[in-house]
Structure 1
Amino acid sequence: MTRRNHRVAVLVLPGAKPLDVGIPAQVFSTRASMPYEVRVCGAAPGLVTGGDGLSYHVADGLDALEWAETVFIPGYRHPDRDEPPVAVVDALRAAHARGARLAAISTGAFALAATGLLDGRRATTHWHYTEALAARHPLIWVDTNVLFVDEGAVLTSAGAASGIDLCLHLVRRDHGVAVANHAARRLVAAPYRSGGQAQYVPRSLPPELGPVFAATREWALRRLDEPLTLDALARNANVSPRTFSRRFVEDTGYTPMQWVLRARVDMARELLERSDLGVEQIAARAGLGTGANLRLHFQRILGVSPSDYRHTFAAGE
């Protein structure tokens, strides 16, 4: 069965930041490997003055929000003093009421917050503006230490680069890990980073070990079917287990063993999507041991059984 492309609108507000606009427009661009269709819109068709010396000519106005199933709100300059137009707020509320999901990148969270749809929910924004968001909208639980927050129909992300993480998270949610990993490879981006990973805020840090740990993660990904212990990972990174554990959490948002488990589940997901292997064979290849163990972790992490996951995301359906 051929799936209809998912419709995505990118709403460009005055002062919009170029990278924030470009990320969803590029990630969800219409192509054979990405079952999405994108429209870039503004409060009205025509020229929108952006930030950083750039402007945008958008073909669509707010009618694109009536068409869209997902609406992205990129960040914009001076969100702590500039309120979004009433027409924009009303259109976002109407899109949400119709069933569209709304996703804000960086300071786009302020426009989303103006709708009242974040009241009583968790949300985040760029670290420079978290206090301002909390002060202006005290009913929102502003989480200052995450890359993105998924509240189902409303999502928010931190600074611009975390917009990539949010977009890949949505692709993974919509179409499975294989499509998301393909998109990540095209973007030369990390396939997944935890939404709970800390934002990179100014603070005193010990010497950078990120590249070393990246090499260790690559080493581990090639050995998921083998026993992988904390000591073995730390030995590969040439640091103590204690240092490895602490810095690994800072680097990924997961403990080393949580990360290994999720990497194994992701490998199992891709095998379920792209092969006819049975559950026991997949469990062995992914280092999860038995089919029962695979089912346990699938249900706990993803909330579905392997068979239901395969039925939803298997290639060609």
Structure 2
Amino acid sequence: MALETLSEVRAHDGVQGVYRHDSTATKTPMEFSVFVPPHAAGEKLPVVWYLSGLTCTHANVTEKGEFREMCAKRGLIFIAPDTSPRGEGVADDSDGAYDFGLGAGFYVNATKTPFAQHYQMRDYIETELPHVIAKNFPSADMSRQSIMGHSMGGHGALTIGLRNPERYRAVSAFAPIVAPTDVPWGQKALSGYLGEDQSAWSEYDACALVRGGARLPDILIDQGTADNFLAEQLKPHLFQKVCDDAGQSLTLRMQDGYDHSYYFISSFMADHLAWHADRLKS
């Protein structure tokens, strides 16, 4: 579990780093970024996880997410993992499609050959990487964690949060895939990683988890009205209905004129982080 430092730079009086380690979950090297804000010696800081979307790595949000100013202001450690295993011998989509395989791990534990060998992103995010953070970043207060994400990463944040309500004090998302069982992106990914038996898909579907009794204190979602994936792939109204029927608190904000890009994410990132910070107080 030795950690290799790829880069560290000063930002907002804190440290923005990129790191690599050999993952036991994915059996590949994995890279991730961490921003540690300025803090007093010995001070413990809450941790915000950010899960990225299709085709992304840790670099997208690290370079374009505009999170550091608010993290420095509110004392938040910000962690951005990769979206899938990578490297020689890691299975990819046979046609090189962007929505399956490399960069599109969907935060599941794959059970279908050949993806099961490396695509164990659920275990990586839920179990292995938190241990790496706890061991290597002494300022991280692992008793105060929250999780957020974008698109495929929003799907990951919602499902991981709903499965682990005792761990994450806050869960939010930008333009998440809320019902992968019912949309083309999710159907392709879940059948490809888990097989055709849809009973195995429900633990990776936010709508199904809420219907099945999973609960969180509150959920925040921002969705742009000009998102070209809104009608076919995202369908936030399905999650709204499920939450309303179940009595699950959900704040769904439809943001007029915003698309699916990091221009949208960066516009509301500070707002999400302030919302998280309020729920991560000691």
TM-score in terms of structure 1 length: 0.33
Which is richer in strand? 2
Higher relative contact order, chain-length normalized (CA < 8 Å, sep 6+): 2
Computing the radius of gyration from Cα coordinates, the structure with the larger value is 1
